[in-house]
Structure 1
Amino acid sequence: KKGHKGRGKQFSNPEEIDRQMRLQREKEESGGAEKESSESEEESSSEDKRSGVEGLIEIENPNRVSQKSKKVTEVDVSAPRELSRREEEIEKQKSAERYRKLHLEGKTEQARADLARLAIIKKQREEAARKR
């Protein structure tokens, strides 16, 4: 025989599915009253029934980030918000452009030092030219 490819597919009977759904609803409805009393027992037993090594060792994964949703009343609007990488890059470019503009106008400390150095060099060159 070759394989399983020639076999016929088996589909569930819709009546059987409906019957199973009704039974499940009935169990949930009748189990609702019992569930309240046995809820604390189920919680403690579900914690004990961890699979594998998980039940033996308490492990906290530092890489796992749990999504915590905040309520509108908890959100602090006045707190400074963190910038994205793109916004940080734009801010860095703007500050560099402002510094360049101030430097060309001679308003920064470095520009003043450069202009003072240039003035000294000009005087030295003028004196050297006069001596020649």
Structure 2
Amino acid sequence: MPRGKFVNHKGRNRHFTNPEELEEQRRQDEERRQWRKNKGQDTDSDEDEEDPKAAGGNKSKKSSDSESESESDSDSETEGKAKGVEHLIPVENPNRVQKKAKKLSQLNESLAQASPKPELSRREREQLEKQKAIANYQKLHAAGKTDEARADLARLAIIKQQREEAAKRRDDEKKQKEMALKQKTEQTQKALGKRA
């Protein structure tokens, strides 16, 4: 801890008030308040007189002054006393927001009208549009209405036709082989049958 002319408040020891001292101070304040209340009821003209129980005479005088000021402020508020030229010129501040009491039904309506959907950012909007476009394209593609789907269907038709032709050829070849085999067996049977 530096010793010198300039001492920082952070290096000093901290002082905590005792709870007993706080309680005593609160009790004394309460006694003063009671004394002022009794004194105010007895004589209204001697408000500036000091409290005989108070240790600091200036403090009690200041507190009684502030109390009388607060009383006069409350009186002026009830009367609605205007400040300055307010009573001469009607002035309305356009920036002043006056709170108005709303009914529960009006609150529900205003909440419903406020924003049914939250505003989306540009990226989110683009992503949603892209997803919708992809779903729409897949739907049209399944229905065969897109160019790519038509080309695929044409290709499939050509492949199907080629496979059918290949299947016919295989059947024909199979039949020819069977015929050839039959003829061969007949010839061998004839040849064997004649010899036997």
State the TM bucket, normalised to the shorter chain.
Answer: 0.3 to 0.5
TM-score norm. by structure 2 comes to: 0.28
Larger radius of gyration: 2
Q: Which has the higher helix share?
A: 2
